[in-house]
């Protein structure tokens, strides 16, 4: 029986008296989703082998053989010629088995001083570090695209909303810069998360470290890690870094979803603030006139998918004792899908932002529908000496009169306005214009066009 199991190349065959059933193999195997870690598994193995040779744990010839074998494996994987075997369970054993076929005993010596526990933890960190760098670059591209759109429309006025009711005039450029800020915070979170991802678990072995004279700092330097994980138990069982990434990713998608909601509303013919390029939309199978904003709608839906992955990882870890447990195999698919979803979404949104056509006339018309300059009139009266609460009440009466007449505040005559306060003078009409309203918010963070342009300059300086 032992001989029979050995033919199947089970890593622990001598311990067991019967083979694993086919159902259990399928249930416990991860190779068909964790094979995406192959590049990083090879990187980690080469750094580990280099250290083993430097420490005299394996020979220089073994190191050269391992390097030669790994180069061939990389070529086979790149060419799609590598055979992934379910019997070998995961990416690590598949690569190790092929390496041993290619270079013999040197391949068997590679695993000296490490375990799959610290090996997989290292692979995931290498993978996630790479993914964070890609996502950070995509966040930059999206912020640049939105900044370009903001610059084109630094003077374009639309209504700002609270409670989905017209509140005050803002510029479309200012509105776009709000998302630039959101995605900027996302970039900061990704950079901060990367610091905790970039610590090396390798050397923790199964859970307690190893008896071999390893040099963990050398491996960390070779792989570009900032530090090593300081406790072997924690090193193999920690998935905080993956949870933290998924939390940051969930916020990215939340911001994408908020933007998507506005794009969907703005594109509706009942609103008509924008149009989205045809390549991001689809039609209807039955209604020939339809142009549906499928990309923002789907991104809004995919946000729930990423949120779910965060909860899945939190739930996965909440009941685990130290150290490694098989439960942790379930960390990969949610993590991989989160990376894929965020990466694809950001890439397509950066392109889509450059395909947005703004309809300034529709925005301007909407700004006149909700007495958007009412607060400006109240501020005007305060500057004339009226207490704010009294000014607020006076303007409320003026708005009520406009509602009854079906007109805007700017349509009232000077005599009409003086009925609500004798402090009103000829200069009031500048205050009641949309341009006057936005220009008056002339401070850092305000919607005045010159402040929008100043904010754009700051963003461009930050992004380089």
10 located within any domain:
no
Q: CA-CA distances (angstroms) from residue 214 to 55, 145, 321?
A: 7, 48, 27
Last residue of a domain, one of 347, 364, 381: 364
The string of pLDDT tens digits covering residues 319-332 is 999 999 999 999 99
Q: Can you give the CATH number for the domain in which 47 is found?
A: 1.10.275.10
The string of pLDDT tens digits covering residues 83-109 is 999 999 999 999 999 999 999 999 999
16 located within any domain:
no
Q: What is the mean pLDDT of residues 210-234?
A: 98
Mean pLDDT of the chain: 95
Q: How many CB atoms lie within 10 A of CB 320?
A: 13
333 located within any domain:
yes
Is the pLDDT at 261 greater than 70? The verdict is: yes
Residue 256 structural domain: 117-364
426 located within any domain:
yes
Annotation says 255 is catalytic = no
pLDDT classification of 12: cutoffs 50, 70, 90: low
Q: pLDDT > 70: what percent of the chain?
A: 97
Higher per-residue confidence, 89 vs 7: 89
Catalytic residue among 163, 285, 413, 443: 163
Regarding whether 49 and 167 lie in a shared domain, the answer is no
Regarding whether 143 and 88 lie in a shared domain, the answer is no
- Domain tally, the chain: 3
The CA distance from 346 to 349, in Å, is 5
Regarding whether 212 and 342 lie in a shared domain, the answer is yes
Q: Which residues of 353-369 are buried (b: 16+ CB within 10 A; e: fewer)?
A: beebebbeebbeebbbe
pLDDT classification of 4: cutoffs 50, 70, 90: very low
Q: Can you give the CATH number for the domain in which 376 is found?
A: 1.10.40.30
Regarding whether 435 and 378 lie in a shared domain, the answer is yes
Regarding whether 256 and 128 lie in a shared domain, the answer is yes
Regarding whether 262 and 184 lie in a shared domain, the answer is yes
Q: CA-CA distances (angstroms) from residue 121 to 14, 52, 105?
A: 26, 19, 25
The CA distance from 160 to 155, in Å, is 14
12 located within any domain:
no
Last residue of a domain, one of 364, 389, 406: 364
Is the pLDDT at 370 greater than 70? The verdict is: yes
Question: pTM for this structure?
Answer: 0.93
Annotation says 284 is catalytic = yes
The tokens describing 317, both together, are 């870890």
Is the pLDDT at 9 greater than 70? The verdict is: no
For position 22, what pLDDT does the model report? 84
Regarding whether 206 and 185 lie in a shared domain, the answer is yes
Among 11-20, 107-116, 251-260, 270-279, where is mean pLDDT lowest? 11-20
Regarding whether 155 and 106 lie in a shared domain, the answer is no
Give yes or no for a contact between 372 and 167, defined as CB atoms under 8 angstroms apart.
Answer: yes
Regarding whether 376 and 348 lie in a shared domain, the answer is no
Is the pLDDT at 3 greater than 70? The verdict is: no
224 located within any domain:
yes
The CA distance from 211 to 113, in Å, is 7
Regarding whether 316 and 209 lie in a shared domain, the answer is yes
Dihedral Cα 148, 153, 154, 159, nearest 10 deg: -130
Last residue of a domain, one of 364, 388, 404: 364
Regarding whether 346 and 211 lie in a shared domain, the answer is yes
Q: Which residues of 218-246 are buried (b: 16+ CB within 10 A; e: fewer)?
A: bbbebbebeebbeebeebbbbbebbbbbb
The string of pLDDT tens digits covering residues 402-457 is 999 999 999 999 999 999 999 999 999 999 999 999 999 999 999 999 999 999 99
Q: Can you give the CATH number for the domain in which 279 is found?
A: 1.20.200.10
7 located within any domain:
no
104 located within any domain:
yes
Residue 225 contacts by C-beta under 8 Å, 6 or more apart in sequence? 125, 198, 199, 200, 219
Q: What is the mean pLDDT of residues 212-223?
A: 98
For position 10, what pLDDT does the model report? 57
Q: pLDDT > 90: what percent of the chain?
A: 92
Is the pLDDT at 11 greater than 90? The verdict is: no
Regarding whether 268 and 282 lie in a shared domain, the answer is yes
Catalytic residue among 59, 268, 284, 397: 284
């Amino acid at each position: 029986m032992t001989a029979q199991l050995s033919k199947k190349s089970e890593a622990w065959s001598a311990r067991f008296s019967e083979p694993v059933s086919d159902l259990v193999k399928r249930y416990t195997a991860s190779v068909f989703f964790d094979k995406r870690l192959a590049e990083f598994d090879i990187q980690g193995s080469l750094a580990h082998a280099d250290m083993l040779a430097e420490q005299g744990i394996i020979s220089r010839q073994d190191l050269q053989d391992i390097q030669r074998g790994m180069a061939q494996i990389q070529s086979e994987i790149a060419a799609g010629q590598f055979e992934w075997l379910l019997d070998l369970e995961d990416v690590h054993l598949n690569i190790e088995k092929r390496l041993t076929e290619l270079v013999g005993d040197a391949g068997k010596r590679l695993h000296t001083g490490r375990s799959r526990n610290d090996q997989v933890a290292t692979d995931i960190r290498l993978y996630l570090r790479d993914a964070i760098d890609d996502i950070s670059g995509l966040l930059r591209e999206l912020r640049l695209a939105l900044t370009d759109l903001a610059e084109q429309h630094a003077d374009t006025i639309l209504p700002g909303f609270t409670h989905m009711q017209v509140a005050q005039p803002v510029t479309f450029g200012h509105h776009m810069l709000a998302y630039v800020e959101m995605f900027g915070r996302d970039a900061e979170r990704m950079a901060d998360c990367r610091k905790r991802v970039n610590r090396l678990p390798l050397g923790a072995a199964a859970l307690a470290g190893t008896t071999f004279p390893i040099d963990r700092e050398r491996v960390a330097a070779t792989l570009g890690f900032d530090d090593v994980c300081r406790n072997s138990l924690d090193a193999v069982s920690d998935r905080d870094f993956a949870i933290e990434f998924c939390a940051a990713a969930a916020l990215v998608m939340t911001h994408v979803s908020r933007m998507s909601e506005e794009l969907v509303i703005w594109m509706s013919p009942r609103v008509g603030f924008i149009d989205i390029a045809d390549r991001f939309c689809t039609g209807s199978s039955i209604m020939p006139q339809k142009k549906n904003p499928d990309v923002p709608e789907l991104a809004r839906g995919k946000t729930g998918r990423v949120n779910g992955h965060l909860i899945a990882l939190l739930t996965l870890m909440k009941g685990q004792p130290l150290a490694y447990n098989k439960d942790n195999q379930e960390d990969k698919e949610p993590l991989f899908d989160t990376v894929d979803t965020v990466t694809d979404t950001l890439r397509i949104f950066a392109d889509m932002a450059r395909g947005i056509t703004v309809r300034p006339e529709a925005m301007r018309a909407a700004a006149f529908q909700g007495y958007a300059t009412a607060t400006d009139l109240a501020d005007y009266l305060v500057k004339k000496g009226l207490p704010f609460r009294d000014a607020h009440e006076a303007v409320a009466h003026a708005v009520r009169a406009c509602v009854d007449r079906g007109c805007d505040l700017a349509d009232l005559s000077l005599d009409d306005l003086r009925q609500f306060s004798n402090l009103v003078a000829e200069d009031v009409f500048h205050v009641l214009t949309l341009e006057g309203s936005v220009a008056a918010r002339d401070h850092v963070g305000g919607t005045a066009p010159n402040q929008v342009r100043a904010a754009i300059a700051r963003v461009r300086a930050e992004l380089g």
